[in-house]
Amino acid sequence: MSGPNVHRDARHMALAQVGAQGQERIAAASALVVGVGGLGCAAATYLASAGAGELCLVDFDAVDATNLGRQVLFGPGDIGDAKAAIAADKLAQQNPAIRIRAITDRLDESALREAVAKAHVVLDCTDNFATRFQVNDACVDAGRCLVSGSAIRFEGQLAVFGPDYSGSPCYRCLYTEADESLLDCAGNGVFAPVPGVIGTMMAVEALKFLAGLDSPRGTLRLYEAGSGNFHSVNIPKRPDCPACG
């Protein structure tokens, strides 16, 4: 991977909060994006354009016609092809200076843990609790910052966890296996730009973390697209949490 580019990254380096030092940290960092759907397309696009040095995109799914309304890296010609591979190709054209790896196999637990341990920040852009819990547990055990997002109907959610879980909550402090029925995108529908809003906010939080900026931890931010309102609630740490308790 190469360092910051004085032209491409100029507007970041002009920011007092980022500067050359922050951009060097971003350029030296590795981000793992698990799930390249509506959230992952938006998050990965900004991580790539902002010069995150190494991106690893994980998705075993193929592009489907029902994805095209909101998964903005894909077009009709991509239907049937592996999402992670298509996204990696398009983002490599967007920013040839970064390294992008696509994992198109279904990761077992040990492969997922290995991928998490190699990353500085992990973005959970998946759509099911089983994978979300696995990603969370790997982040807690490896001490990695986890940026978690979700979008369904007109609602979006965003939270940042870790990398120090000793005094702050994890994703399992928020949800348990009993909540499984909450997420069903196909059945409930999703308003197209909502995953884009949340995925973009996930990139904001991941890039802030990589640049060394502060970010609220253990706070759940909720976006309600119907009213256009955001609000935040604190996530208490569960003393009996199976992952971080």
Q: Is 139 a catalytic residue?
A: no
Figure out which of the listed residues 25, 83, 144, 172 binds Zn ion, where binding follows CB under 5 A.
172
The encoded tokens of residue 9 equal: 């990254």
Q: Quick one: which of 88, 170, 197, 206 contacts Zn ion (CB under 5 A)?
A: 170
Q: Which structure tokens are listed for 170? A: 């994890």
Nearest approach in angstroms of CB 241 to Zn ion is 3
Of the candidate spans 38-46, 86-94, 184-192, 236-244, the one that interacts with Zn ion by CB under 5 A turns out to be: 236-244
Instruction: Write the CB contacts of 37 (distance below 8 Å, at least 6 apart in sequence).
Output: 59, 61, 67, 71, 83, 125, 126, 127, 195
Q: CB under 5 A: which stretch of 39-47, 115-123, 155-163, 169-177 binds Zn ion?
A: 169-177
3-state secondary structure of 148: strand
Q: Which two tokens stand for residue 162?
A: 């870790």
Extract the runs of DSSP E, i.e. beta strands, from 113-154. 121-124, 145-152
Name the catalytic one among 145, 170, 185, 244: 185
Kindly report the number of other CB atoms within 10 A of residue 85's CB atom: 18
- Residue 147, classed as helix, strand or coil, is strand
Nearer to Zn ion, 139 or 211 (CB): 139
Residue nearest to Zn ion (CB): 241
Of 31, 102, 152, 244, the residue at the interface with Zn ion (CB under 5 A) is 244
Query: According to the binding rule CB under 5 A, does residue 173 interact with Zn ion?
Result: yes
Q: Is residue 241 a contact residue for Zn ion (CB under 5 A)?
A: yes
Q: Which of 114, 120, 111, 173 is nearest to 144 (CA)?
A: 120
Interface region with Zn ion, contact rule CB under 5 A, candidates 42-50, 98-106, 204-212, 237-245: 237-245
- The residue written with tokens 């990353």 in the block is 119
Footprint of Zn ion on this chain (CB under 5 A)? Answer: 170, 172-173, 241, 243-244
Active site residues: 185
